[in-house]
Amino acid sequence: MNFIYTALDFEYKWISLSFLMQNGTFIFNLMYLAFSLQGLFQSPIFYSFHLLDMINRFPQLQNVIKSVTKNGFQLMMTAMLGLIFIYIYSTIGFIFLFDTFYNDDIHAGLLNSKGDSICMSMLHCYLSEINYGLRGGGGIGDFLPT
């Protein structure tokens, strides 16, 4: 008889624990506590994650998160289309404009060598265009000499 009560008590606690682990508010508060403890004992940089609490407090920010997460596939396809256009431009640049992809800042501190090409191979040209083109405000056109 005592075994039945123990089994029922275990089942009750198991269902309660599984419900608790599926509750988003509990998980959020648990992560909040974990980041607080990490900020206290490990590094204060973990306190910056507490700013994510603003998403829970403002419905407008919740709508922003919903718009990004619901349309995530379309956003990734748009990014892929952008990478395809950068590849096409880097192919044209590698074949026809090879000598214009030159950076004077490479090897600037060494004697008798100033600058180097940033388009030595097709992969190097593509990665350089992604690097300089996405970081610059006007794209790769800001980087290239006129």
- Residues 79 and 137 both lie in one domain: yes
Number of domains in the chain: 2
The pLDDT, as a whole number, for residue 83 is 93
The pLDDT, as a whole number, for residue 39 is 94
Output Rg (C-alpha) for the chain, integer angstroms.
Answer: 27
Which residues touch 39 (CB under 8 Å, ≥6 apart)? 45, 46, 47
- Residues 85 and 42 both lie in one domain: no
Residue 83 and residue 127: Cα distance in Å, rounded? 10
Give pLDDT tens digits for 41-52.
999 999 998 988
The pLDDT, as a whole number, for residue 113 is 59
Residue 63 and residue 31: Cα distance in Å, rounded? 22
- Residues 123 and 79 both lie in one domain: yes
| Backbone angles phi and psi of 117, in degrees to 5 | -75, 140
Give pLDDT tens digits for 10-52.
888 889 888 888 888 888 889 999 999 999 999 999 999 898 8
- Residues 42 and 79 both lie in one domain: no
Domain that residue 41 falls in:
2-61
Residue 32 lies in a domain: yes
Q: Helix 72-96 crosses helix 122-135 at what angle (to 10 degrees)?
A: 120
- Residues 31 and 78 both lie in one domain: no
Residue 68 lies in a domain: no
- Can you list the residues of the chain whose pLDDT is less than 50? none
Partners of 102 in beta bridges:
117
- Residues 42 and 12 both lie in one domain: yes
The pLDDT, as a whole number, for residue 107 is 63
The pLDDT, as a whole number, for residue 85 is 93
End-to-end Cα, the chain, rounded Å: 90
